[in-house]
Amino acid sequence: MSSVSSLYFAVGAVVHALSWLPNALRQYGSNLSLNQMSRRAPSAIPVSLAILHHHRWVISARGLANIVPSPDHVVYGVVYSLPTSQIAALDDAEGVSRGLYQHLHTDVEMILKDLDSTECKQVPIPCWTYIDRQSSQSPPEIPSAEYVECINNGIQDAKPPNEWVARNIRVFIPLSPSQLLQAALQVPGAYTTGSVHFRSSSAPSSSAPNSSTGIVVATGPSPQTLYFAYGSNLWLKQMALRCPNSVKVGTGILYSHKWGITSRGYANVYPSSNHVVYGTVFTLLEADEVELDRYEGVSGGSYIKKDLDVELLSTEGESKMIQCLVYIDPSPKGHFRPRKEYIHRINSGLKDADLPAKWVQQNIRPFVPDQ
């Protein structure tokens, strides 16, 4: 049998191959995971990170990665050199014979290191990938925990640009608990303005080889803010609508403050040396923070923005002090009642946040009745 290879572009769990290498395949979904690809196609060789233009990364109605045409979007994935003898096994794993995925032959731009300089260049190349045409028009299904883990492993292996991941994959795939802590506490290239952590938005994007895999990867700036929510933004559905790029990091404690309700009927925190406030820590992109400013009425003075120390709790028994953005109503303290519609949102948030029951009973229930 011929040892001819194919180039495959992987955008989910697998990466697909390129035509001028022995069988080029580009992967964008769970085949981004090198471990999964080695099991499905033992002779597949990762070649390069690549960009597929005019497509968008989504989760299908079957809860699996897919790409759909979209003129204003791109999809990052990995190109593999794949022996033709192993394409059938990969097709079987992808459900081609059952009509779950079809082959898509297309052009991608490989991101390659220029041997004569420190620069990287983008080289157009024909390759093939998998696409699910049947369920592309249906609402996405929530992916399984196993699939989420596989996608996260693939992201770690392939290392596509962080901001692209945040804007495209994180809409569907949450970080693992350990990755959430790493994202909050170990932001690469971070600097501090006041006490809120950002990534420099003026720093140029760059590309560099991943020493562990040999894949050439591109890295880019992703401005992020750590945000401490204590009111209705504890509700994940509301946060997803207001800040679609936000990522829940974990539970935090704001010390020397007390939870209360403002004269306008909304949640607030007031300085109080003998009290603490529990809440949820999120990461925000710049666009999310702009939207949150609008919802919180910052321009009108309803809330002001402060940078405060928060203790981020870990399920592994560790905790760290971080600095977060906190919205505070500057109006005088009083014992006010919440708006009627606000009660539902607070209770929904409390269910999502799973804060200590005793603290909720002592601090929130005097203002907000359970429903």
CA 29 to chain centre: 14
* pLDDT of res. 189: 33
Least trusted range by pLDDT, from 29-33, 63-67, 204-208, 255-259? 204-208
- Report CA-CA distances (Å) from 59 to 55, 134, 182: 13, 13, 25
Question: At 39, is the pLDDT very low, low, confident or very high (cuts 50, 70, 90)?
Answer: confident
Name every residue whose Cβ is closer than 8 Å to that of residue 360 and which is 6 or more positions away in sequence.
278, 350
Q: How far apart are the first and last CA of the chain?
A: 68
Find out whether 216 and 120 touch, Cβ atoms under 8 Å.
Answer: yes
Domains of the chain, by residue range, sit at 5-131, 228-363
Whether the CA torsion 128, 134, 139, 141 is positive or negative: it is negative
Question: At 52, is the pLDDT very low, low, confident or very high (cuts 50, 70, 90)?
Answer: very high
Residue 116 predicted with pLDDT over 80: no
Residue 207 predicted with pLDDT over 50: no
Backbone angles phi, psi at 103, to 5 degrees: -75, 140
Q: What is the CA radius of gyration of the chain?
A: 23
Element holding 137 (H helix, E strand): none
Name every residue whose Cβ is closer than 8 Å to that of residue 206 and which is 6 or more positions away in sequence.
120, 218, 219, 220
Would you say domain 5-131 falls under CATH 3.10.490.10?
Answer: yes
| Average of per-residue pLDDT across 239-260 | 92
CA 122 to chain centre: 25
Name every residue whose Cβ is closer than 8 Å to that of residue 241 and which is 6 or more positions away in sequence.
none
Class of domain 228-363: alpha beta
Neighbours of 320 (CB within 10 A): 12
Question: At 28, is the pLDDT very low, low, confident or very high (cuts 50, 70, 90)?
Answer: low
- Report which of 183, 203, 169, 201 is spatially closest to residue 286, judged by C-alpha positions: 201
193 vs 241, higher pLDDT: 241
- Structure letter (DSSP) for residue 84: G
Cα gap 152→179, rounded to integer Å: 9
> DSSP of 140-163, one letter per residue?
PPPPPHHHHHHHHHHHHHH---HH
| Average of per-residue pLDDT across 312-321 | 74
What's the whole-number average pLDDT of the chain? 79
Name every residue whose Cβ is closer than 8 Å to that of residue 323 and which is 6 or more positions away in sequence.
192, 194, 195, 196, 197, 226, 307, 308, 309, 310
Cα gap 181→188, rounded to integer Å: 13
Cα gap 49→271, rounded to integer Å: 50
Whether 5-131 shares its CATH topology with 228-363 is answered yes
Cα gap 303→308, rounded to integer Å: 15
* pLDDT of res. 180: 61
Element holding 291 (H helix, E strand): helix 286-295
Backbone angles phi, psi at 144, to 5 degrees: -70, 160
Least trusted range by pLDDT, from 5-9, 135-139, 285-289? 5-9
Helix (H, G, I), strand (E, B), or coil: what is residue 73? strand
Stated length of the chain: 371
